[in-house]
Every structure is written in structure tokens, then in C-alpha cells.
Amino acid sequence: MLRAAALLTALLLAAPAFAADKPAKATGAAAQANLDVLRSTIRANKKALVAVNLKLTDAEAKDFWPLYDRYEGELKGVNDRLVTLIEDYTKGYATLTDEQAKKIAEDYLTVEEDRAKVRRTYFGEFTKVLPGKKAARFYQIENKMDAVIRYDLAGEIPVVEE
């Protein structure tokens, strides 16, 4: 697991497009390009991190990877909504009204609920193609990668001003 965290950390540090501009400072097409590069890089390397750390047998891999791709496809929609929410927030956080702040918080909570629903739904599917320990390990790997990404994002997203 330490390898996964180290590799993901290296991935995030090696994403110069993301590190170069904080969301609050990046604008327009440049900001979107930064996010697109980051998402593409994370998706490509995330699968590699899962493969290295899950150690699937050939039989498990045959059933796991198509399911994983469907799972990631559903999470992509949820994650894209989160990115849009972050983009909208960072564009106008300094002049947010109470109502706008409340709406953003509600939308964020809805995104998080939807993420949990996808994970809950797919856990049952993953336990059909993997032994229980490997399914749990997969979710641990996912959670660790998410924690690194969220930590990095937390440093980039400005706090609501009073």
C-alpha cells in the first residue's frame, strides 16, 4: 500500500499543469485544460495502481476489469459533477451570497451521497468476482488514492469568506 501512496504522490507532483495554477487563479480554457490533464493522468495511473496492489489471478482479472471499467464510468459522472461544482465555486467564492453558499454545500452533499451510492452498489458486484479480502483491499486502495487527491484539492480550494 505504501507503494501505491508513493506512486500516487509522485503522480500528483508530476502533474505540472495542475500544480502550476490553483483553481482560484486559473481561468477559462487554461483551467479546463489543467483539469482535463489531471483527470486523464489520474485515471490512467489509478488503474495501474490498482493492478499493482490488488494482485489478481488471471481468472479474477477476467471478471474484475470489465466491472472496474463500469464502476469507474459511473464514478466519472459523479466526479465530473464535483469538478464542475469546484470550478463554479472558485470562480465566485469571494462574492458568494449566503444562498449561493448554501446551494453549493447542498450540491456537494448530493455529490457525496451519489458517490457513496455507486460504491455501495458496486461493492456487491465486486464481492461476486473477488474474494472478500480482495474486495475490501480494493476499496482500501480506492480510499487511499481518494484521500491523497482530496488532500491536494483541499489545499487548492479557497475557504468561503465571511
pLDDT tens-digit readout, 124-137: 999 999 999 999 99
Q: Is residue 116 part of a domain?
A: yes
Q: Is residue 161 part of a domain?
A: no
Q: Is the dihedral of CA 103, 98, 34, 2 positive or negative?
A: negative
- 114 vs 37, residue with greater confidence: 114
- Are the C-beta atoms of 139 and 3 separated by less than 8 Å? no
Q: Is residue 121 part of a domain?
A: yes
Measured CA to CA, the distance from residue 81 to residue 88 in angstroms comes to: 11
Residue 2 has pLDDT above 60, yes or no: no
Measured CA to CA, the distance from residue 110 to residue 108 in angstroms comes to: 5
Considering its fold, how many domains does the chain have in total? Answer: 1
Residue 6 has pLDDT above 50, yes or no: no
Residue 145 has pLDDT above 70, yes or no: yes
Torsion (CA) 84, 86, 87, 93 in degrees, nearest 10: 140
- Are the C-beta atoms of 130 and 138 separated by less than 8 Å? yes
- Are the C-beta atoms of 162 and 28 separated by less than 8 Å? no
Residue 76 has pLDDT above 80, yes or no: yes
Residue range of the domain that includes 152: 2-156
Residue 160: DSSP 8-state: P
pLDDT of residue 40: 65
Q: Is residue 162 part of a domain?
A: no
Measured CA to CA, the distance from residue 58 to residue 51 in angstroms comes to: 12
Q: Is residue 134 part of a domain?
A: yes
Give the cell for residue 18.
495542475
Write the CB contacts of 20 (distance below 8 Å, at least 6 apart in sequence). 34
Residue 37 has pLDDT above 50, yes or no: yes
Report the chain's mean pLDDT, rounded to a whole number. Answer: 80
- Are the C-beta atoms of 5 and 144 separated by less than 8 Å? yes
